[in-house]
Amino acid sequence: MLVFKFGGASVKDAGGIVNLVNVVKKYDGNQLLIVVSAMGKTTNALEKLTRAYVDRDEEVHAIFDEIKKYHYEIIEQLFEPSDSVFDDVANTFVEIDWVIEEEPHDDYDFIYDQMVSIGELVSTRIVNAYLNKAGIKSQWLDVRGYIHTDNTYREGVVQWDKTRAAISSEIPALLQKGHVVTQGFLGGTSENFTTTLGREGSDYTASIFASCLGAESVTTWKDVPGVLNADPKFFKDTLKFDELSYSEAIEMTYYGATVIHPKTIKPLQNAKIPLLVKSFTNPDQPGTVIKENGRNEFLKPVIILKHNQVLVSLSAKDYSFISENHLSDIFGMFAASHAKVNMMQTSALSFSVCIDLNEDRFKKLLHLLGKDFNVKYNEGLTLITVRHYSDKWLNELKTGKTILMEQLSRNTIQMVVK
């Protein structure tokens, strides 16, 4: 039994969905659980729609119409007007109509999850319908009834015992009847509200299913040939890894490598299930295998960029030293704001930290910190992480940049730059 994950780039248009079906055909005879993300840049568009709704922007209906138009144009290229997928998609979009007819809920993260989740629900309806149209028997599954989370909206914490029981008791029988198509990125609460697992969380969804089902492997289908040492959008002559160990993959994702969601590896490592990262445009190529004893050959350093960063510097209002008690209070505020710490540094009188910029969470964080600390911050920064570095590469990366904070260890250097 295999688990496949197809990201948004792989299903961004009608040709992508046809290609997905052709990839699936290559695995005839296998039981497949297929996890699919929202199409193309739909998640970004739904985020824009959510913000417009919360801000009472008059463009909210125009934004929603564009999202629907994009999907219906794809459907029209793949199906006959009489096919039931048109009604299935329309009925799914109605969930957003219901939301935007009401006054905004107080909790932005709650609204976000209820609206942005529609992207995956629609994409899987379309993919499942086209698989069946192509003669490949598959069943659509609402993941929210199987991946159970707490009420931490936008970063749902998986309730593993309940999730494992639901998946292991019901999914194997469904797979006996044909493939299963379900949504990445989503979960459900005990009150039947939708949660999301964090941006790019579809990889994590695939690993949850794989670990609960004892899958042979997980394959995540990407627009790159495998795991590369750097993002080809920013660096030339990138190098593909044939193999990586779980531990190295965890380090890379922790520092922000976007090819795999940070939480993906641990469930697979616990169950010793290999993760394959392969190209959906060249599915016969081997890609990268991440496994227990994977070889780590670093002919070039691993370079990871995280954009849209904020460097926050704190000092006590009474000019006292930054003590352990201060740090305990500070981290409590970061946890309460759901702010992700990517790098930190402490001196006698100050504490500096680099975090992802999320406007709503950052405003909350500043409010909390400002009660007890002097706060300064710089926005619009980039965090560069280099693993297995050499002086030559570091000199090239530093050229033309202002370094605001830097840390060095045996294997890794991090720099906050502008």
Q: Is the pLDDT of residue 359 over 90?
A: no
Same domain? For 215 and 338 the reply is no
Pair (239, 312) in one structural domain: no
Same domain, 279 and 306: no
Q: Does one domain contain both 10 and 121?
A: yes
DSSP letters of 329-346? HHHHHHHHHTPPEEEEEE
Give the three-class secondary structure for 146.
Answer: coil
271 and 373 assigned to the same domain: no
Query: pLDDT-based confidence at 258, cuts 50/70/90?
Result: confident
Is 233 among the domain residues? yes
pLDDT the model gives residue 186: 98
Worst-scoring range by mean pLDDT, 35-39, 138-142, 201-205?
A: 201-205
Q: Largest Cα–Cα distance of the chain, in whole Å?
A: 72
- Cα separation, 173 vs 194, whole angstroms: 25
Output the pLDDT for position 297: 82
In a domain, 250, yes or no: yes
**Average per-residue pLDDT for the chain:** 94
Of the spans 12-26, 230-244, 318-332, which averages the highest pLDDT?
12-26
Domain hosting residue 132, numbered range: 2-291
Question: What span, in angstroms and rounded, lies between the C-alpha atoms of 49 and 301?
Answer: 39
Taking the CA atoms of residue 218, residue 222, residue 224 and residue 225 in that order, the dihedral angle to the nearest 10 degrees is 40
296 belongs to a structural domain: no
* Per-residue pLDDT band at 343 (split at 50, 70, 90): very high
| Phi (first) and psi of residue 417, to 5 degrees | -130, 160
Q: Model confidence over 18-27: pLDDT tens digits?
A: 999 999 999 9
Judge whether 289 and 248 are in contact, CB under 8 Å. Answer: no
Q: Which residues of 200-232 are buried (b: 16+ CB within 10 A; e: fewer)?
A: bbbbbbbbbbbbbbebebbbbbbebbbbbbbee
Q: Could you tell me if 217 and 167 lie in one domain?
A: yes
Same domain, 173 and 66: yes
Question: Is the pTM of the predicted complex or chain greater than 0.85?
Answer: yes
The answer on 185 and 93 residing in a single domain is yes
- pLDDT value, residue 119: 98
pLDDT in tens, 50-99: 999 999 999 999 999 999 999 999 999 999 999 999 999 999 999 999 99
Highest mean pLDDT: which range of 158-172, 282-296, 353-367: 158-172
In a domain, 20, yes or no: yes
Confidence of residue 300 (pLDDT cuts 50, 70, 90): confident
Q: Rounded to the nearest 10 degrees, how much is the dihedral formed by the CA atoms of 404, 410, 412, 415?
A: 10
Q: How far is the C-alpha of 408 from the C-alpha of 315, rounded, in Å?
A: 24
CATH code of 408's domain: 3.30.2130.10
308 shares its domain with 287? no
Same-domain pairing of 263 and 325: no
Q: Which residue has the higher pLDDT, 262 or 2?
A: 2
What is the pLDDT, as a whole number, of residue 291?
A: 94
Last residue of a domain, one of 230, 261, 291: 291
- 107 belongs to a structural domain: yes
Backbone torsions φ then ψ of 338, nearest 5 degrees: 55, 40
Q: How confident is the model at residue 47 (pLDDT cuts 50, 70, 90)?
A: very high
Q: Are 381 and 335 a contacting pair, CB within 8 Å? A: no
Q: Is residue 297 part of a domain?
A: no
Domain ends where: 258, 291, 324?
291
CATH number at residue 221: 3.40.1160.10
Q: Is 171 inside a domain boundary?
A: yes
Q: Which residue among 291, 313, 335 closes a domain?
A: 291
pLDDT at 259 over 90: no
54 lies in the same domain as 187: yes
Which pLDDT value is given to residue 299?
82
What does residue 365 show for φ and ψ, rounded to 5 degrees? Answer: -60, -45
What average pLDDT does range 228-238 have in this prediction?
Answer: 91
The model's confidence at residue 230, banded by pLDDT at 50, 70 and 90, is: very high
Same domain membership, residue 132 and residue 179: yes
pLDDT at 15 over 80: yes
Task: Tell me the pLDDT tens digit for each residue of 197-214.
Answer: 988 789 999 999 999 999
**Is the separation of the CB atoms in 349 and 319 below 8 Å?**
yes
Q: How many domains does the chain have?
A: 2
- Give CA–CA dist 261/414, Å, rounded: 20
